[in-house]
């Protein structure tokens, strides 16, 4: 079975075929990884009552478990500007509207961090070789591959890499609405609550970029080439500022639309 996708967008035809690539990291209460933000591992426990247990292993008729996790800390997730603003703009509402279509024209960039003092930052120059194509193709989403290591780790108190000042602003100027990274955050782990990149990308509470989303803690496999692709950003139907998500990548070719 061969899957073929074609999308006409801004005067270009985006064509994809072959196997999609899952960029998600699951919430995993069995391994307890990944996790971040000083949270313990996600947990999974059978429901118990006086004469009943939700565990087949313990003699129950079914497995019926409570899963406790934090979407920001325990796997790939997608968030709206509600994450930093005192508003009710849950990600579920974004998915159910035209602001987050099922298939998005997207662009993948290898954006390896650079050392700056005691920190590692994702530099604005990582876009240099791709910016002209991004301006021409006008993708709605960008995936930044920022690490070559496994994201299945405890990121807490490790000062992970974060976006250099100006990078989020540059993405806004390129009209990127959906930002995806394989880091626990676009911002520094401890920054006194500044959340500079979040604020730049989502905009101020008085005039937010209401359709914008940020997805974090992805896993972008080695060997996935830079360039255009079609992105299916699948988000769990949970009414919250953030929810677990499964970004699926289809490498694509882009050609000028016939007139």
| Cα–Cα distance, 249 to 90 (Å, whole number) | 24
Question: What pLDDT tens digit does each residue of the chain (259 aa) get?
Answer: 678 999 999 999 999 988 999 999 999 999 999 999 999 999 999 999 999 999 999 999 999 999 999 999 999 999 999 999 999 999 999 999 878 988 999 999 999 999 999 999 999 999 999 999 999 999 999 999 999 988 999 999 999 999 999 999 999 999 999 999 999 999 999 999 999 999 999 999 999 999 999 999 999 999 999 999 999 999 999 999 999 999 999 999 999 886 6
* Distances in whole angstroms, Cα of residue 235 to Cα of each of 46, 62, 205: 25, 27, 24
DSSP-derived letter for residue 257 is P
**Closest alpha carbon to 250 in 129, 143, 110, 94:** 143
- Calculated CA dihedral for residues 202, 138, 141, 120, nearest 10 degrees: -70
């Amino acid at each position: 079975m061969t899957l073929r996708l074609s999308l006409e967008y801004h005067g270009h035809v985006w064509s994809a075929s072959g196997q999609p690539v899952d960029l998600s990291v699951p919430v995993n209460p069995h391994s307890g990884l990944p996790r971040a933000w000083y949270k313990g591992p996600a947990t999974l426990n059978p429901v118990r009552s006086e004469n009943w247990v939700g565990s087949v292993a313990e003699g129950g008729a079914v497995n019926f478990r409570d899963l406790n996790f934090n979407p920001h800390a325990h796997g790939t997730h997608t968030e709206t500007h509600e994450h930093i603003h005192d508003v009710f703009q849950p990600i579920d509402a974004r998915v159910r509207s035209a602001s987050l279509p099922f298939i998005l024209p997207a662009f993948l960039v290898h954006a390896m961090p650079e050392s700056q003092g005691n920190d590692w930052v994702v530099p604005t120059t990582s876009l240099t070789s791709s910016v002209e194509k991004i301006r021409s193709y006008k993708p709605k989403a960008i995936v930044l591959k920022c690490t070559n290591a496994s994201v299945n780790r405890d990121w807490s108190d490790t000062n992970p890499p974060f976006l250099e000042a100006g990078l989020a602003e540059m993405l806004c100027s390129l009209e990127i609405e959906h930002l995806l990274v394989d880091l626990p955050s676009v911002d520094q782990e401890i920054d006194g609550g500044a959340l500079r990149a979040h604020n730049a990308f989502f905009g101020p509470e008085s005039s937010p970029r209401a359709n914008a989303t940020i997805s974090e803690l992805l896993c972008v496999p080695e060997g996935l080439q830079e360039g255009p692709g079609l992105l299916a950003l699948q988000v769990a139907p949970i009414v919250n500022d953030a929810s677990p998500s499964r970004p699926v990548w289809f490498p694509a070719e882009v050609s000028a639309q016939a007139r």
